[in-house]
Structure 1
């Protein structure tokens, strides 16, 4: 192509890009509290899930990390297993009848029996571990960046990755994850909002605003942030909590048009 033609093509492309509408930021929906139950304020919550009438929790910090089963009516710890001191517990997911507990920087995934929390095996993790959930046949993992990693849970073989964006900008510090209504809900470290993410495109379709919950929590450290999402798809109940928070909140999100338990995916 002659230089003049190249310049004309570049100018046309720039004009088209300049006139294209910018991607709109995802809308935000405030939560409403349905109920609140006590939560161990010593628990540095890294992962939370619901299954079979119980809540399961992964807690962090070196020398304090654990895997727990909780009573969702009272918050009482029904059973617990401590991690060895060199490990910092992180995100938690359920695949089949096994719990998958990430470690932060130790490159390991601990697989435990759901029935009694007994360890079964260890698997490798190529990145830092922050959050985890299962979506279909994938184990979805965050590492604190803007990426979601989709693994085969049996082997931790990487299947694909997706970059998470809102209004075209990367959303970083992705933390605890939960799959709800075909979407991935993600805590963002230090943010009082939860991102509702389309797992195919990585686009944030909505924000679940939990600022009202955080405002009522007395923090003992800057690290005591919103973290922990659990969902019962059979009933639609959703719970959230935070690191060292004294309560677990059951919430609902009026007006949220997608990402509901058992709901169908619908683009805004």
Structure 2
């Protein structure tokens, strides 16, 4: 009988404590969607009208100032993409509760659609599983993937001849590469590390670890930053000297996010990015993530199929730019041709 009473008392205590705890229900009020340059009022509400001591607000993990349990989020300060809103609420006797929500910010302008025309075509190694492509001092530099087949190579543009090559350790699945300050920066896929090579000798000099971006996909550079994709819609900016991640943007147009960004090229202040498994290139503003243009290269797939049977993985991947002569080159995984193309605005 005593055990039954003890059990009943324990159960009642649990119910009372649980009831006290759940009497506090907090909600962050924010619209689910917004457009860039909108100013959004975000507030905290206690659903049962219970009083609480204070609340600290955070946007993407960084504290923001607030008054009267609300603040204004100016979307132009954060760019497009899903912005994470959270609050740490202090209530009761030293109790705290974290509450989360988000707002998805879309571009405030429609993107420019592009088609293309072929200017030239050149031979390309049909066994090169292209992951990175760059034009430098009259040559193409290319990284290829798959374990046991990953390479970095220097290639003659007009002949497709490989004039210099190193094989990557078979433990690694090679991904994107870029040339910066006479060094080749090279990514691996899931090993969470990249390598740095001397441009002239291809001798490995250093390796670096990724940060919050867990995978390596595409790589390019601006004047002072390395620019990296990780297979999502997010693009990361790395300090060129330390290879540490500094910031990131999310690629969005006025309708949707652009996922699976792959090979990258930085051209005249914009980021050009392949979509994985789609014959499209997004043109992205590096400051705010807005997809300002989309080039549809579906016709290149049809062109390739005239002379080559393409397998499922033989997708468009590889963008290189000759700044001096304003030439844009594209190719694909295991393609036997590399194309010089001109992008044309569609009306």
TM-score (norm 1): 0.85
Residues 95-110 of structure 1 correspond to what in structure 2 (within 5 A)?
95-110=180-195
1:88 CA displacement: 0.6
Give a deviation string over 1:229-258, Cα, whole Å, max 9, x none. Answer: 00011110110000011100011113389x
How well do the aligned residues superpose, as a CA RMSD in angstroms? 2.2
1:199 CA displacement: 0.4
For residue 159 of structure 1, give the secondary structure of its aligned residue in structure 2.
strand
Q: Which residue of 2 aligns with 1:39?
A: 124
Q: Which residue of 2 aligns with 1:203?
A: 290
For residue 345 of structure 2, give the secondary structure of its aligned residue in structure 1.
coil
Matched, 1:156 2:260: no
> Which of residues 299, 322, 340 is equivalent to 1:232?
322
Partners of 2:108 and 2:255 in 1: CA distance: 6
Residues 116-265 of structure 1 correspond to what in structure 2 (within 5 A)?
116-126=201-211, 127-217=214-304, 218-255=308-345
**Does the CA contact (< 8 Å) of 1:59 and 1:90 recur in 2?**
yes
Partners of 1:116 and 1:212 in 2: CA distance: 38
**Does the CA contact (< 8 Å) of 1:108 and 1:123 recur in 2?**
yes
Instruction: State the number of aligned residues.
Output: 241
- Where does structure 1 lack aligned partners over 5 or more consecutive residues? 1-9, 258-268
For residue 213 of structure 1, give the secondary structure of its aligned residue in structure 2.
helix
Give a deviation string over 1:68-93, Cα, whole Å, max 9, x none. Answer: 00001111111110001000110111
Partners of 2:107 and 2:247 in 1: CA distance: 27
Partners of 1:53 and 1:152 in 2: CA distance: 27
Q: Which residue of 1 aligns with 2:167?
A: 82
> Which of residues 157, 182, 200 is equivalent to 1:115?
200
Partners of 2:280 and 2:150 in 1: CA distance: 25
1:135/1:256 CA distance change after superposition, 3 Å: farther
For residue 263 of structure 2, give the secondary structure of its aligned residue in structure 1.
strand
TM-score (norm 2): 0.66
- Where does structure 2 lack aligned partners over 5 or more consecutive residues? 1-30, 35-39, 41-105
